[in-house]
Structure 1
Amino acid sequence: MERGKSAKGHGAAKTSRSSKASSSMSKTGSMSKSESMGKKGGNSLLKQFFVEQLQDIYWAEKALVKEFPKMQKATTTEELAEAITDHMTETEDQISRLEQIFDMMGEPAKAKKCEAMEGLIKEAHNIIDETEAGTATRDAAIIMATQKMEHYEIATYGSLVQLAKTIGMNEVAELLAQTLTEEKGADQALTQIAEGNINEEGAREEEGEQQMEEGDEGEDD
């Protein structure tokens, strides 16, 4: 009986050692896989795509910095003009942040033409041309055009944050997340301006009203 117990105990010990070894191998295998993914991210197709998308949004941000003064000049309300100016300054900081990211990754700060943003900028020009100067309707249109740009950027930065995490670049992800937060904030600010009074004022405007007012002012002079 004692011998049987001993054998049984020996078997239990063997099973325990086997279980520990299996657990150890599992952990080692998991670590190796994680390390392998990290190394793969260093020159993977996903990382190449990530860099290309950084170049794309880099072009977009630089293009917006050039466009914001034109949009600001076309506004009617001071509140909207200030909001656009503030976001232009913020965008300049975002460009610097992207350049910092390129440097961290050992990549040149190269801009790749963003077809989507180019189209949105062209649409903004058309909106300004098709609305009457000095009206709340034009301001509402400018807000809409700007928010379309913001939504594109929000979608882009949101995806870039996740891609950066996937390829193991957490510091890069944190920097991109800062920009994402700023873009969301700018979008919310524009919504508040629109809902404050611009949309309501635009709803009361009638076609040709602004030209008539300007004509009356000319006669008074």
Structure 2
Amino acid sequence: MLIISCLSLINKPSADLPYSQKIKKYLATKEIKPTIVFNAEGKRNTTLLTHKITWKKVNKGLLITIDGVTINSSNEVTFNGVSDKTVESVNFANSINQIKLYEPESLIGFELVFNPCNGLGCSVAYHLVYDLKTGRTSYFGRFRTDLEFNLYNFNSDSVPDYLATTTFCEVHPRIIDSIEYIMYSKSAQGNFKVYKDGNQEKFWFKHIFHRDYANDDTRLLNEELIEGWTEKIK
């Protein structure tokens, strides 16, 4: 697994607009609420409504059984670039942290993590989206951003969307942090694909910032937002 530490060296006045909060509030208005949220840490099985789910750790990865269908994460890689556009093997994850059932959408979302974690390994999570009707799977990874699994409806078209992220360390001319967000939508086959239309090959926005490492690395400074999105993020 490739993880690159992002350390910002720029020193400019803070932007007037707190884009991190704007993004958070915007996403909350688009989120699809799950039917059930199950915190799975330390457990090995559950039943969500009529769906029986069990899992166990293997040499590399997890074996997850959903209604009798077994999924092996060992040989899977993420659809998205997790860090600096690099796709990653999902076999780093050996535990399920949370499961969300979306019964009307016939989807289950899993947050996969490495446990016990240390250092930068605690800043990584992988997401498995399982389609209950087709059995298709989609894998994504997240690094140094919100690790919780969520689904959205960005187009008001009743088709579930997933917001993939890629974390970058870029030089402008010094190193700064940035996170690119790209929309994936559920296909007719049940897996998720990059959303595009006749005008754009992908819909995205990019949050650029400097972490205040000297005082509080959760505090973001010098924020910028670049958009190629479906609408203005307000």
Q: Pick the TM interval, shorter chain.
A: under 0.3
- In terms of fraction of residues, the more helix-rich structure is 1
Point out which structure has higher relative CO (alpha carbons under 8 A, 6+ apart): 1
TM-score by length of 1: 0.24
Structure with bigger strand share is 2
Tell which structure's C-alpha radius of gyration is larger: 1
